[in-house]
Amino acid sequence: MPYNPRDYPEFDDFPDAPFADPGGKSALRAATRHNRRNRRCPACKAPNRLTPADVVRGYQCDACADRAEGGGY
């Protein structure tokens, strides 16, 4: 069975990372000095789309999430 970081929340180094778009539809975390947006999306492979906090949670970029969920709201 592949490793899923969401199965291990105790290893989340960013438990209180704020949302990038509070009140919006994005679940991505805000980029900060200690949580830079420097990771590629696992779905589309676009660089600099996710923060380490997003990766720990198993997220993909907003564009891929919108496509997967039927195009957004």
**What confidence category does residue 3 fall into, taking pLDDT thresholds of 50, 70 and 90?**
low
Give me the pLDDT at residue 63, please: 96
Average pLDDT over residues 54-65: 94
Q: What is the DSSP string of 19-57?
A: BSSTTSS--PBPP-SSS-S-B--TTT--TT-B-HHHHHT
**What confidence category does residue 70 fall into, taking pLDDT thresholds of 50, 70 and 90?**
confident
Enter the pTM of the model. 0.76
pLDDT at 61 over 80: yes
DSSP label of 70: T
Q: Residue 35: which of 9, 12, 66 has the closest Cα?
A: 12
